[in-house]
Structure 1
Amino acid sequence: MSLWNDDLPRIGAALKEAETKSAEPPAAPAATEVREAMDELLSSFEAFKETNDERLGEIERKLAADALTEEKLARIDTALDRQTKKVEALALAAQRPELGGERAGPAAAREHKQAFERYVRKGEAHELRGLEAKALSAQSDPDGGYLVPSETERAIDRLVSEASPIRAIAGIRRIGAASFKKPFATGGAQTGWVGETEARPQTATPTLAEIEFPAMELYAMPAATPTLLDDAAVNIDQWLAEEVQTAFVEQEGAAFVNGDGVKKPRGFLDYEQVADGAWEWGKLGFIATGSAGAFPASNPADRLIDLVYAVKSGYRAGGRFVMNRTTQATIRKFKDAEGNYLWQPALAAGQPPTLLNYPVTEAEDMPSIGVDEAAIAFGDFRRGYLIVDRLGVRVLRDPYSAKPYVLFYTTKRVGGGVQNFEAIKLLKFSA
């Protein structure tokens, strides 16, 4: 009996350790797992090329591909998409630092973080209200919620940036006001060559105009159970960031591509589109494929080359293609004159696939190939499209509307629009 009693503390400690380990987030994937996923992706692409070559050979011999070959190619194509996403997810997970633990920082920041955690877990707002009133925060409003700690805001921004395709490639500006205004020259100062002793003619005054990017409110409303909030092992920062990630990414992704600018950012496809030969500032130029709703039957890759070289060389250096998954599946079958595939999978985890040696960004909100659809964009999006983020993410705790669950009304302000109309060109599937 005494031996059993002596073992009780040891058994209790072992059980506590097991419970703590079970509550910990999963470890980052090992390098071997990432390598295995990359090998699987490259093997699938080799199988894709082999099957597609077989399909092309059948078309040459019999003027039509065998149905079984088409079906096999479609299956491999789907597997390629799935494996590409798996490699990207593993690469992000391997790079993502842990959110748990207190970071060293100013005492005020730690105090705010602790007060915010008590507000989220138990609804105790008096301490948080006092801290924000002391800091004279203009963005804090008890009726509209409280500012999250800077560590939580960074976690949300990082997770959203990793998952949002356009945000990952666009220019980003953080602002503290309701909007961001950017001047640009519509008519530059007069210039010319003169001799060393010649009189300098008077130059014309530059004409400036202004574009404005207002920050619109974006919200998500994750729910939690009282049990989750009472569990001290749950990292509130990580939980909130991961809960709002999907909602923010879906809304932002659609707005950055197709948004009309009314209570949301303006997407780059919402601007007026003109043939590139008639391009002017304020509009996006496009290259037509010459075939309504399709690539031309002969030399379809030539249109992609035309699109690349429609962009000035200064922007081509940072250029990339943007298209959705179905458009990428069509282009994946294209070859050059030497029989080499134009689309190539990433050579390393965390890198995008390439087309004509330019990176490809897959954005599901881009339109699919169709009549008069601008299904492919190319250019330097970091210089061409600007996203403005107003500092501060607010959270309002609501334990009443959906009892027994606790809702967290989480808001951030985001805007966006084209800032350089020379940097982006479109491929339109029209005659």
Structure 2
Amino acid sequence: MDPKHSAFETKAAVETKHLAGPEVSAAFEEFMGAFEAFKDANDQRLSELERRGGDPVTTDKVERINSALDTQKALIDELVLKARRPALGGAGDLVSDIAAREHKSAFDAYVRHGETAGLKRLEAKALSAGVGADGGYVVPGETEREIGRRLAALSPIRAISDVRVISSGTYKKPFMTSGPAVGWVAETAARTQTTSPVLDELSFPAMEIYAMPAATQTLLDDAAVNIDEWLAIEVEAAFAAQEGAAFVIGDGVGKPKGFLAYDTVAEDSWEWGKLGVVATGVDGDFPTASPADPLVDLVYALKSGYRQNGSFVMNRRSQGAVRKLKDENGQYLWAPPLAAGQPPSLMNFPVHEAEEMPDIGADSLSIAFGDFKRGYLVVDRAGVRVLRDPYSAKPYVLFYTTKRVGGGVQDFDAIKLLQFAA
């Protein structure tokens, strides 16, 4: 192993141990070892292709190691997520605000025993505290924030997008389609009248998403069980899965509109309201000669003001394909994360996995690159509501949990797509 890589691993190992202890550190070291084996096997495969057309055994070995890398990376992400989860309800979480503590106590009594008197009293004192038995009751503030933190960790597009919290049902954002006419003029020359700016409006309605975790009455009666934490854990995966799909491919009907659902146009003919597309030049694949060129074209299709905060978005199978690519100097374009909990990089830009992105195929839009913080907007309506249902699935108690979320492209110049087409 060369000294440069050894120094890289030492730095990564130190950061990893500091992050989450020996379990994550061991998994990360195993991941780095697998990546070295992958590079060696892939180099052998490329050498055999040049000599005699390739050895199926070597090709199979590369694919198996490639798959192992994906599995190991998923394990590391899961371990890091667990390590970062703060405990709820402990002594350090006691809030100083009396009303907040009263809300938390009343909500706990409602979830455990179905007692609504406390929440109804709060509703009478402050109309924002609850919406009545038919619509459920708003969870305490710290529980809502914890659900939001967990969603940001699990939902890849939410994690890199702009997130706004609103109190109404729709977020409206004005934008200027054309500005006032301006120009240079001499000191004494006549000035022509300038035109007024033209404004339009983007609208992002918040749609309802729900989960329905179930619990036994025995679990609810157990005082050692932290109800807030239990609820956050139960709904996080369900919410994240639905959000993840909607932010990528959602059609905007009863759900957020995903960025792949917008109209596209060749980058050379880009116009506002559509996403620019860069073609690979080959149906369903990278070109055989200079396969990295389309990725370079994709990166530089983005203006410099957006590019400095750019990120790649693709699914794990597409990432497995780009993991094999090299530049003209024989260096791999894909690089492993510097430490556990960080994303890998492609051409020095972070790579985020979104499983809803399409696999590489004919005419597929399988890779996105852009400044998603400026390009995509996630809208959260304040308040997560819970309706307790002890009747529909006896002896289990169901908790119909709802949250209102919207989303859509807010800057069409900030996201570009790679299309695997001629």
TM-score by length of 2: 0.93
Q: Retained in 1: the 8 A contact 2:123–2:130?
A: no
Residue among 78, 86, 92 paired with 1:89: 78
**137-146 vs 293-302, greater mean Cα deviation:** 137-146
Deviations 1:160-212 (A, max 9, x none): 11000111111101000000000011110111123455554432110000010
Q: Deviations over 1:315-374 (max 9, x none)?
A: 000001000010000110001111110000001122100000000000000000011110
Are 1:225 and 2:216 matched, yes or no? yes
Aligned equivalent of 1:77, options 66, 74, 88: 66
> Where does the alignment leave 5 or more consecutive residues of structure 2 unmatched?
1-17
**For 2:138 and 2:30, how far apart are their aligned partners in 1?**
44
Is the partner of 2:394 in helix, strand or coil? coil
* 2:371 equivalent to 1:380: yes
Instruction: Indicate the residue corresponding to 1:265 in structure 2.
Output: 256
Q: Distance in 1 between matches of 2:233 and 2:305?
A: 38
* Percent of residue pairs bearing the same amino acid type: 63
Q: Are 1:155 and 1:237, in contact at CA under 8 Å, matched by a contact in 2?
A: no
Q: The residue matched to 1:287 in structure 2 has which SS?
A: strand
Q: Which amino acid aligns with 1:156?
A: I
Mean Cα displacement is larger for which, 339-348 or 92-101? 92-101
Structure 2 counterparts to residues 58-137 of structure 1, below 5 A: 58-64=48-54, 66-101=55-90, 102-137=93-128
Q: Which residue number in structure 1 is paired with residue 237 of structure 2?
A: 246
- Within 2, Cα distance between the matches of 1:92 and 1:146? 28
1:13-32 correspondence to structure 2 within 5 Å: 30-32=20-22
8 A Cα contact 2:119 2:129, kept in partner: no
Contact preservation (8 Å) 2:163, 2:380? yes
Q: In the alignment, does 2:23 pair up with 1:33?
A: yes
Pick the aligned partner of 1:44 from 31, 34, 51.
Answer: 34
2:184 is the counterpart of 1:193: yes
Q: Describe how 1:20-419 pairs up with structure 2 within 5 A.
A: 30-64=20-54, 66-101=55-90, 102-137=93-128, 140-196=131-187, 200-419=191-410
**Is this contact kept in 1: 2:267–2:278, CA < 8 A?**
yes
Residue matched to 1:21? none
Q: Matched residue of 1:392: which SS? A: strand
Shift of 1:105: 2.3
* 1:425 counterpart residue number: 416
Q: Is the 8 A contact 1:398 1:406 kept in 2?
A: yes
Matched letter for residue 167 of structure 1: R
Distance between the aligned counterparts of 2:228 and 2:196, measured in 1? Answer: 52
Alignment-mate amino acid for residue 140 of structure 2? P
**Distance between the aligned counterparts of 1:398 and 1:405, measured in 2?**
9
Aligned-partner Cα distance in 2 for 1:353–1:337: 21
Measured in 1, the distance between the counterparts of 2:20 and 2:129 equals 45
Question: What is the CA–CA distance in structure 1 between the aligned matches of 2:208 and 2:113, rounded to whole Å?
Answer: 27
Task: Give the conservation status (yes or no) of the 8 Å contact 2:130–2:136.
Answer: no
Could you tell me whether the CA contact under 8 Å between 2:279 and 2:418 is conserved in 1?
Answer: yes
Q: Is the 8 A contact 2:256 2:407 kept in 1?
A: yes
The answer to whether the 8 Å contact 1:139/1:392 transfers is no
Q: Structure 2: which amino acid aligns with 1:73?
A: V
Instruction: Measure, in 1, the Cα distance between the counterparts of 2:209 and 2:132.
Output: 17
Look up the SS of the partner of 1:393 in the other structure.
strand
- Equivalent residue letter for 1:148: V
**What residue identity is the alignment partner of 2:87?**
E
Q: Find runs of 4+ consecutive structure 1 residues off by over 6 angstroms.
A: none
Assess if the C-alpha contact under 8 Å between 1:383 and 1:423 holds in 2. Answer: yes
Q: Tell me the amino acid that sits aligned with residue 175 of structure 1.
A: I
* Bigger Rg, structure 1 or 2: 1
Matched residues in 2 for 1:274 and 1:123: separation? 54
Distance 1:381 1:30 in 2: 28
- Corresponding letter in the other structure for 1:364: E
How far has the Cα of 1:422 moved from its partner? 0.1
CA distance in 2, matches of 1:117, 1:325: 40
Over the aligned positions, Cα root-mean-square deviation in angstroms equals 1.5
Using the TM superposition, give the Cα deviation of residue 394 of structure 1 relative to its aligned residue in structure 2, in angstroms: 0.3
> When the two structures are aligned, how many residues end up with a matched partner?
403
Following superposition, the deviation at residue 67 of structure 1 comes to 2.0
Q: CA offsets, 1:370-418, max 9 Å, x none?
A: 1111000000001000000000000000000000000000000000000
What is the match of residue 24 of structure 1? Answer: none
Q: Which digits, 9 at most, give the CA deviation of each residue in 1:116-167, with x for residues without a partner?
A: 0000000001111111221012862321100000011011111111000111
Q: Give secondary structure in 2 for the equivalent of 1:371.
A: coil
